[in-house]
Amino acid sequence: MRRLATAAFIATAALASSAGSANAFFHLLFQPQEQQQQYYRNEPSPHVQISPIPREIVSFSGYSAGTIVISTAERRLYYVLGNGSAVRYGVGVGRPGFEWAGTKTITRKAEWPDWTPPPQMLKRRPDLPRHMKGGIANPLGARAMYLGGSLYRIHGSNEPDTIGQAVSSGCIRMTNADVVDLYSRVRVGTRVVVLR
């Protein structure tokens, strides 16, 4: 019986690896939850999101550990580790006319969030859907962290080529791989400082 189950598993794996989308689906089904974020970095699939700006640990001081600092001029987000260092991520920021600065707090976190465009955005873009369920095609990507007292979020993106550019309506965009990593580090109540 064990041999039959093993043979069936191997056959399924071989079948899945013969097609890219099936391969991605196979890995999502059979990988443990804690390993699923590897899907964004390593799986040969159309949904892989390699950032054009590598995530790295850099020297960084002046803020307490656990703070997020976003430099819109640099188009970088820093998650402060303390001891003079931070994790630096590439981000997409607000396009001209949608820049902003200030201090906010993460008031909510969501995995594969639904998206409801705000009325201001619908006025500019009446062609947008009124609501979209979370998923790989959703513009908010794999994770979202909501910045209280604003319409803005730090969220994933299905357009990794926009990372490092000023293209959004004020939200901070990250690749899905990077937003999953940041999401795992922060909590509700995290301070976010946005610099211009």
Q: Which residues form the catalytic set?
A: 155, 171
- Determine which helix (DSSP H) or strand (DSSP E) holds 103, and give its type and residue range: strand 102-111
Is 146 in contact with 170 (CB distance < 8 Å)?
no
Q: Is 29 exposed, middle or buried (0-12, 13-18, 19+ CB in 10 A)?
A: exposed
Sheet holding 172-175, edge to edge: 56-59, 85-90, 76-82, 68-71, 191-195, 102-111, 143-147, 153-157, 172-175
188/98 Cα distance (integer angstroms)? 25
188/83 Cα distance (integer angstroms)? 23
Greatest alpha-carbon pair distance for the chain in Å reads 65
